[in-house]
Amino acid sequence: MADQLVQANLAGHDSHGVGMLPSYVDGVINDRLKINSHPSVVVDSGALLTLDGNAGYGQVNGFETMQMGIERAAIHGVAVVGLRNSYHIGRIGHWAEQCAASGYASMHLVNVIGHPPLVAAYGGAEARFGTNPFCAAVPGRDGRPGFLLDMATSIIAGGKARVAANKGEKVPPNTIIDIEGNLTDDPNAFWYTDPSGKRGGALVAFGDHKGSGLAIMCELLGAALLGGETAHPKNPRDGRIINSMLSVIIDPAALGNAEAYYDEIELFRDFVLDSQLRSDCAQILVPGQPEELARIERADGFEVDPVTLDQLKTSAERAGLTSAVFEDLVG
């Protein structure tokens, strides 16, 4: 778990990095997150697998699920793997990178339940589903993704709103809907709760009806299809962060000539990047490049804002560490 959280920060995704620890500590203390558990097999039909994460650490569930999927893809050329009922599985790009490192292309559709919904359907002012990520990657020659697309179906992820609120910063305009249904750039409007404890803010789906529609399909294909739970209120919302994920893992060599495939994606990458720049843009980035650049920039480490650091200290104390031990750990 620690490895994946740090790797998320190094890839530039602070929303899915060490700042997630307080929610995990809370899950353990309240017995919503089951420690020392592993995914169990629900359906095994060769190239088709359905696993139950048993509300265990998503980093363990995701890693072991991808391991099993890669093994099946090596045999069958393709594997369709469903993981349901896992605690938060973190940055989804991590799992696509795991597949790419073994030479496999992959697609991942994800939903999230357990806390109040985060994102409004297009045209609505109230949250109805999670940020429901979609991720896809194709491998390159060197075991790293040739291209990696990893995105929330909201304009910004909920964790990015948390990071901005912690830093006292604004989010991009019109990415949040406040309690009265107005678009805003105030991240605190997303976290607003009325006296009854009901949260009124919502995130905006990207691309209007397109992002909203894709989020709904992630909800249905990534969870309901696997026997997982969706975000409607009859399913419990007790502070858990439960993900379900449908993954399709493909061996490029099983579909065609692997060398020709590598040549083609490299030629296409060069063609895309060799373009006149739009007047308001300084560079062209293909999917996966932002993470590559962040890893270079953060090769010697990354900053943690004071509010997040204070939250980590509080969580450490809840987990039984003294202030002195925490100070020694963080330096």
pTM higher than 0.85, yes or no?
yes
* pLDDT for res 162: 83
148 exposure class (CB count in 10 Å sphere: 0-12, 13-18, 19+) = buried
Beta strands in the chain (DSSP E): 40-44, 48-52, 78-87, 105-113, 119-120, 127-129, 134-139, 145-151, 176-177, 183-184, 202-204, 242-250
pLDDT tens, the chain, 331 aa long: 999 999 999 999 998 999 999 999 999 999 999 999 999 999 999 999 999 999 999 999 999 999 999 999 999 999 999 999 999 999 999 999 999 999 999 999 999 998 788 999 999 999 999 999 999 999 999 888 899 999 999 999 888 888 898 889 999 999 999 988 999 999 988 876 566 656 668 999 999 999 999 999 999 999 999 999 999 988 877 878 999 999 999 999 999 998 999 999 999 999 999 999 999 999 999 999 999 999 999 999 999 989 999 999 999 999 999 999 999 988 7
Domains of the chain (ranges, CATH numbers)? 32-153+208-297 (3.30.1370.60), 155-204 (3.30.60.50)
